[in-house]
Structure 1
Amino acid sequence: MKFTELALNDQLLEAISYMGFEEATPIQEMAIPIILDGGDLLACAQTGTGKTAAFLLPILNLLSMKSDHQIRALIIVPTRELAMQIDQQVQGLGYFVPVESMAIYGGGDGPEFEQQKKTLTRGTDIIVATPGKLISHLNLGYVKFDQIQHLILDEADRMLDMGFHEDIKKIISYLPKRRQNLMFSATMPLKISQLAKQIMNNPAEISLALSKPAEGVLQAAYLTYDHQKSPLIIELVKGKEEYKSILIFSSTKKKVGEIVRALKGNNFEVAGISSDLEQSERENVLARFRSKRTRILVATDVLSRGIDIKDINLVINYDVPNDAEDYVHRVGRTARADTTGVALTLINEDDMYKFGRIENLIERDVMKIPLPADLGEGPIYNPKQRPPSRFGRKGGHGRSSGQNTKSGRGRGQSRSKGNRRRSK
C-alpha cells in the first residue's frame, strides 16, 4: 500500500516523499488507520519493520490540526539513545507540519536540565522521554500533562525487562483518564499483556513476525573456543571491503575493550561503546559510525534495540545473547527494511545450549561454518549440553543445574539453506 492511500495530510506526504519513501511497511499499513481513528493499539513487531513511523505519522497528522503547542503526546522509551532517535525522526517526518518536540533523558548537564524544565513548563506538542528522567521532573511539580491525548510506550518489553514497570504506572497516574494508548513491543510476554489490560481500553492487536529475524538476514555461526574468537574476528573482517559498516556485540564491557584492542592492533578503524562512556562520548561514537567515519563498532547490549543505524552490512555476536529474543534484536541491526545483511555468531562450549534455544525460537537450524584451517578445530555442536553452574545447585536466572551431557553432533551441524528472500 502506498502512503497516499493512508489518509495522511499533504504536508506529511510531502515529507515522506522527500525522504524517498513510497510504500508503507505492513506494520505501518495496519497501524496508521487504527491510530488515526483514535483507537488503542497493542502492536508486536520486530526491529527494522518501520514501527516508529507507524505511530509517529498518524500522531503528527492529528497534532498538525492543533496550533497552541500544548503537550498532547507523550512517548516513553527505555533508553536515551532511542529518545534521541525518535525526536530526530519527529523533526524529519514533521518537517512540513507545525509540530514541535523535545527529548527528555538523563546524562546531561545543568543547562540541559533547565532547557528540559523550560520546555515542560512552556509546552511542546510531543515529549519523548525515558522514565527515570521524566519522573525527576514530575516530582518537582511543574509538569502539566492535563492536555495529553496520546500515550505511546515504545519498546515496552524492554522497559519492563529494565524494571520500569512501577515508573510507567507512576507516570500514567499524572495523565488524563481519557486518552489514546499505543503500545509497541518486539515481543509479547505475559507481563506485556497484563500491562495492556491495566492501561488500555479494548485495544486492537497487531502481531507481525514475532521473534523471527528479518527475511533478508543471512545467518551463520562458528563453533569456537574462547581463545579463537579474537583471531576469528580479524579473519572475518580482513579484506572484506564490501562491508562498510560492521557491528560487533559482546556480553560485557571488559570484552568490548579486548575486542577493540585486538582490532586496533591490526590497523582496523574501530571504536567501542558501553555504559562506561559519558553521554557526549557515546553520541560522538555513534555519529562517527553513522557517517561511516568509523567502520567497526563494538558494543554491549545497549545497542541491540532501538538505535536506527542504517546500512549495517555485518553483525557479529561475539557471545551468544543470554535471552533468545535478544538474538533477534541484535540480528535486527542488519537487513533493515528492504536490504540484505549478514549475521554471524561465535559459539563456545558454554553457549551451545543457549544457541539451541535460539534455533528453537526462530524455528530453523543456523548454518555452522568451519573455522579457518589456521585457527584449528573448534568444539562439536551439542545444543543439549548445559554449561556448569557457577552458583551451586540452584544457580542464577537463566543458568542450568550444572549437569553436562556427553558431546555429540547436533542437528544444526548440517548446512542450512537459509532464507534469501528480500525483507519486506
Structure 2
Amino acid sequence: MAKRTLTGTTLDTIVSLAKRRGFVFQSSEIYGGLSSVWDYGPVGVELKRNVKDAWWKSMVRERDDVVGIDASILMHPDVWVASGHLDSFTDPLVECQECHRRFRQDQIEGDTCPDCGGAFGEPRQFNLMFKTFMGPVEDSSATVYLRPETAQAMFVNFENVQTSSRKKIPFGIAQIGKSFRNEITPGNFTFRTREFEQMEMEFFCEPGTDDDWHDYWMNFSMDWFKKFGIRGEKLMLRVHDADELPHYSKASADVEYEFPWGWGELETISNRTDFDLKAHAEKSGKDLSYFDDQKKERYVPFVVEPAMGADRSALAFLLDAYDEEGEGKDMRVVLRFHPDIAPFQVAVLPLSKKDTLSPTARRVYDLLLANFNAQYDDTQSIGRRYRRQDEIGTPLCVTVDFDTLDDDSVTIRNRDTMEQVRVPIDNLEAAIREQLNTMRADCQG
C-alpha cells in the first residue's frame, strides 16, 4: 500500500471534506446549527456503522466469553445515586463576570477571561448529567436523567444476564449505545460532544485476577486499533496518575491518538474493582454476588472495563486514512481506510450513461450487492468518479465499458496503487475478495 502522510492534516481540512462528501453535517444547519451537535450523512453513517460492527465482531461474535445487551437510555434515578454520578459526576465551572461566558476551570490559563479579559467569579461544581421529567408533571418526583454512560445498565443487569446466558466467571457484557453529557466546553468537531455513542464492555472476573485481566484488555485495545489500520506511531497507552483516577477505579489507562490538536483519548480501560456491584447491591437490596461452583465460594466479582467512543474512533479512522498525492491540479485526495472500515468496499462505474451500458452495469452492481457494501455511480466523467471514490475511501472500483458487451469482462481499479486489472464477470466476486484480503494485510497499523 502507498505510504500515508504522517503529519500535516488539519482539522479544517477534514471538516470540509466531511461536509462535501457526506460524512458529517452540522445538526440543524438550516437554522444556524446547534453547537457541538452533528449529523452523520450517507457516507459517514456507513463509516461509523462499520467501526461499531468491527468492534462488536471482535468483542462479542468472535469470543465465547462476552455477550451483548441493548439497554434503555432512561433508568431509575437511584441508579445514579448508587453509582455516584449525582454526587461526583461534576466539573469545576467558572463564569466571566463581564461577558458571562462559562469555562471548565481546568481548561483555562490565567485569571482572566480569554474572550473579553474580564475577571472570573468563584468556581462552582456543575453536574454534567442532562435532566428531564417522566410523565405529565414536572416536579422532583418525576425527575429522570439521560444516561451519561452505558456501563451502569450492565451492572444492574449482571444477574439477569449471568443467569439467562449461563456464563461462568470470567465473562463480559458488551453494549453500544448513546450517552449524554452536558459538557461545558465541547469542541474539536466530533471529538467532544454532548450527545455521543459509546462502545463499552464490562468484564467480570474473580478478585485477584483483575490486574492480569486489566493488562490483557489494555493490550487487546491497542491491537484492535492497529488491526483496523491506525498507525502504531499515532497511538499510545497513557496510564492514569493516582490523582486523576475516577472514584470507582483502582487503575485506568487511555488509548490515545495524535489528533491535529494533540493527543486525545479514544478509549479508557479501567479496573473498576467491585465498586459498582457492591454499590447497587447496597442501594437496591439485591444480592449481586456470584457463587463459584468449582471453588464452592461466593464473592462479588471485580470488573475491568474497556470503554471506547464510537464517534471519536470514527474521527480517528478518518484522520488517519487521509492522504494527499501530487500537487496542484494533479493532486489526489485519498482515504486509505481498512476495507472493513471503508464506507463502501466497491463502486460500480459504467463508462458512460448510455443505455447500452446501463443494463450490464446494473447486473454487475446487483451481483456484488449480495456480498459487498457497494455503490453505483454514473454521474460525471470516469476520472472525476474515480477521484470521488478515492475521497470517500472506496478500496476498489469496477468499470463497465463497451468492451464488456463483447467479452463479458470488467476492469477493477485499486484505490491505493491505481493499478487496473481486467477480469471476467464470472470471476469478479473472487477477484474482489482476493484484492480486499491483500489490502487488509497491507492496512495493519
TM-score range, shorter chain: under 0.3
Which structure: greater strand fraction?
2
Higher relative contact order, structure no. (Cα contacts within 8 Å, ≥ 6 residues apart):
1
Higher alpha-carbon Rg: 2
